[in-house]
A and B are shown apart, each in its own frame.
Chain A
Amino acid sequence: MVNDSAPVAVVLSASELGLERGGRELFSGINLQLTRGQLVQIEGPNGAGKTSLLRILAGLSRYGFTGQVERHVPQLFLGHQSAVKGLLTPRENLAWHVAGESSFTAAAIDAALAAVELYGYEDVPSHALSAGQHRRVNLARLYLSQAPLWLLDEPFTAIDRGGVVALEARMLAHLEQGGTVLLTSHQPVAVAYPLLRLDLTTGQLQ
Chain B
Amino acid sequence: MWTLFHKFGSPPWLYRLSGAILRWLLPITLLALVAGAVWGLLFTPPDFRQGNSYRIIYIHVPAAVVALAGYYVMAIAGAVSLIWRMKMADIAMRACAPIGAALTFVALVTGSIWGKPTWGTWWVWDARITSMLILFFLYLGVVALYEAYENKALAAKACAVLSLVGTVNIPIIYKSVDWWYSLHQPASIKFTGGSTIDPSMLYPLLFMISAFYCLFVCALLLNMRVEILEREQRTAWVRALATERGGS
Contact = CB atoms under 8 A, between A and B. Distances in A.
Indicate yes or no for A touching B, C-beta below 8 A. Answer: yes
A64 B234 contact: no
B9 to A, nearest CB: 13
B154 interface: yes
Interface string A56-73: 000000011000000000
Interface string B56-97: 000000000000000000000000000001000000000000
A64 B150 CA distance: 13
A53 B151 CA distance: 17
A63 B234 contact: no
A29 to B, nearest CB: 18
User: Which secondary structure characterizes the binding site on chain A?
Assistant: loop
Interface size class of B (residues with CB under 8 A): under 10
A194 interface: no
- A-B pairs with lowest CB-CB distance, top 8: A64-B153, A63-B153, A63-B157, A63-B154, A64-B151, A23-B234, A64-B154, A63-B85
Contacts of B153: 63-64
Contacts of A64: 151, 153-154
Interface in B130-163: 151, 153-154, 157
A64 B90 CA distance: 12
Nearest to A64: B153
Interface in A134-160: none
Contacts of B234: 23
A178 B140 CA distance: 54
A114 B157 CA distance: 44
Given A64-B151, A64-B154, 4 more contacts: A23-B234, A63-B85, A63-B153, A63-B157
B182 to A, nearest CB: 45
Contacts of B85: 63
A81 to B, nearest CB: 19
Contacts of A23: 234
8 contacts: A23-B234, A63-B85, A63-B153, A63-B154, A63-B157, A64-B151, A64-B153, A64-B154
Contacts of A63: 85, 153-154, 157
A8 B160 CA distance: 38
A22 to B, nearest CB: 9
B81 to A, nearest CB: 10
A61 to B, nearest CB: 10
Nearest to B90: A63
Nearest to A61: B154
Contacts of B157: 63
A64 B154 CA distance: 8
Nearest to B151: A64
A30 to B, nearest CB: 19
Nearest to A20: B153
Contacts of B154: 63-64
A43 B114 CA distance: 68
A64 B155 CA distance: 11
Interface string B145-189: 000000101100100000000000000000000000000000000
